[in-house]
Amino acid sequence: MIIQQCYDEGIENANREIGLLISDLKSENGDMCANFAAMYLDDASRMEKEVVKKTDSLPGWVGSVMRLNFARQRLDNVKSIRETCKQ
């Protein structure tokens, strides 16, 4: 249970940072970049849910590890959008 809490905290931290970056995107990079980031996050979330569902029957921490890795990947991609998308 403690290990799961660590995974959950890592995911929550990444999601919190993503939320802050989205706010920054709106004010610093404009609506077009913020809308693109939001669209990316929606698409990524749908894909992640499908992949994580498939891990339910696997032993160990595969699903938790995947969820944390996906959160980190989303964070990195939103950072990249913020750095490279200029309106």
Of the candidates 58, 56, 65, 55, which has an alpha carbon nearest to the alpha carbon of residue 7?
65
Q: What is the pTM of this model?
A: 0.90
What pLDDT does 38 receive? Answer: 95
In terms of Cβ atoms closer than 10 Å to its own Cβ (0-12, 13-18, 19+), residue 78 is buried
The pair of structure tokens assigned to 62 is: 């595969």
Task: Give the model confidence (pLDDT) of 3-28 as tens digits.
Answer: 788 999 999 999 999 999 999 998 99
Confidence band for 1, pLDDT divided at 50, 70 and 90: low
